[in-house]
Amino acid sequence: MAGDKKVNVGVLGATGTVGQRFIALLATHPYFVVHALGASERSAGKPYAKAVNWKQTDPIPSYVRDLVVQTCDPKHFKQCAIVFSGLDADVAGDIEAAFRSADLAVFSNAKSYRRDPHVPLIVPLVNPSHFSIIPQQRALHSPPLKKGFIVTNANCSTTAVVVPLAALERAFGPIESCIITTMQAISGAGYPGVPSLDIFDNIVPYISGEEEKMEWETLKILGGIAEGDDGTKEFDMHSKTPLRISASCNRVPVIEGHTETVSIRFARRPPPSPQQVREALQAYTPDTAGCPSAPRQAVFVHEEPDRPQPRLDRNHQFGSGVSVGRVRQCRVLDIKFVVLANNVNIGAATSSIINAEIAIAKGVVSV
């Protein structure tokens, strides 16, 4: 952003796993300034340092220690141009709607509005063009809004896989089949999350709703926006070139970083070679120029045979990109590889922050 202008932002769900990561990341942001914090009645009225059960490796940033946590009522956030939400999905729906109605720009991590036909589901390294639906979202609101809107992030496992898929579709055309197996970190379930007796020395081969989310969200993100005769825009769900996805989701005893094995078949025959795929992934440049929180390299491609690994690779580029490795031929489909993404950073808070940076750059949020 040009100049030294600061932008006031609020954080809803500021005490949770994603909320704490927002607080940590925003502490060093060049122009976002945290002005208000919201959480449940349990936390409201307390200074942040007293309300939060801080679980980040760095100490609580000093700027926020004494900021008093508010209830999630828009009246406390009037001075904010942007509100980031790390709210529990059970309450996010009503609260985020109230903030949008109060003409605030809401960047949400919850699943509540991902399937809304007027709400874009934006992974900033993939589909920032979907911001074009925002004027329609505002116009259809009753009463129509001037500034308010909701933009959602994807599910954290979806985010990891759509980045390499987008890179490969850009280079080689449509992908027609994709089989994914996830190994998801415990932090994906919030705090305290999965009981230690369930996850220690164990793998849980089920995460409620996760497979359906991955299979559906990927189509909305990788698809385009079609325009009807009356000018109404709608998400085309990749329908021009149908993409079949099968996801199997597992919880593993890793604290942070979702790892996924992916096999894909391209529509084009013959398919690209593993080396061509590696080069295309490495060269992929998303439309995030000028966004201070975007990674320098969206997809980092490992040559070592045993990478990426969550403990070694989850904090590369502050967890803002994805790491891919083991790109090789698949004997059933065409190509297979491993992808790793930090579920709390690019899988959640970092994506929201880059989305907000893009919204400012595109003039969707005026500051």
Ligand X SMILES: N[C@@H](CC(=O)OP(=O)(O)O)C(=O)O
Residues that bind ligand NDP (CB under 6 A): 13-19, 39-40, 42-43, 72, 86-89, 91-92, 109-111, 156, 187-188, 190-191, 343-344, 347-348
Q: Is 220 in the site for ligand X (CB under 6 A)?
A: no
Query: Helices 350-361 and 17-26 meet at what angle, rounded to 10?
Result: 50
| Nearest-angstrom CA–CA distance, 237 and 321 | 24
Q: Is 343 in the site for ligand X (CB under 6 A)?
A: yes
| Nearest-angstrom CA–CA distance, 306 and 319 | 19
Cβ distance to ligand X smaller for residue 240 or 311: 311
In angstroms, give the least distance from the CB of 177 to ligand NDP: 26
In angstroms, give the least distance from the CB of 303 to ligand X: 28
**Cα angle 21-108-157, degrees, rounded to a multiple of 5:** 70
Interface pick for ligand X out of 1, 98, 102, 189 (rule CB under 6 A): 189
From the list ligand X, ligand NDP, none, pick the one residue 247 interacts with, judged by a Cβ distance below 5 to 8 Å according to partner type. none
Q: With contact defined as beta carbons under 8 Å apart, do 8 and 35 qualify? A: yes
Element (H, E) at 341: strand 335-341
Sheet harboring 299-301: ordered strands across?
Answer: 244-251, 175-184, 258-266, 335-341, 322-329, 299-301
**Dihedral sign, CA of 294, 296, 298, 299?**
negative
- Catalytically annotated residue among 29, 76, 118, 156: 156
- Catalytically annotated residue among 29, 76, 258, 302: 258
From the list ligand X, ligand NDP, none, pick the one residue 92 interacts with, judged by a Cβ distance below 5 to 8 Å according to partner type. ligand NDP
Q: Which residues contact 105 (CB under 8 A, 6 or more apart)?
A: 81, 82, 83, 147, 148, 149, 151, 356, 359, 364, 365
Cβ distance to ligand NDP smaller for residue 40 or 250: 40
In angstroms, give the least distance from the CB of 207 to ligand X: 5
Interface pick for ligand X out of 12, 92, 156, 324 (rule CB under 6 A): 156
Specify whether 156 is catalytic: yes
Q: Is 352 in the site for ligand X (CB under 6 A)?
A: no
Q: Is 207 in the site for ligand X (CB under 6 A)?
A: yes
Specify whether 258 is catalytic: yes
Q: With contact defined as beta carbons under 8 Å apart, do 158 and 109 qualify? A: no
Longest dimension (CA), the chain: 62
For ligand X, the binding residues (CB under 6 A) are: 89, 109, 111, 155-156, 184, 188-189, 207, 210, 213, 343
Active site residues: 156, 258
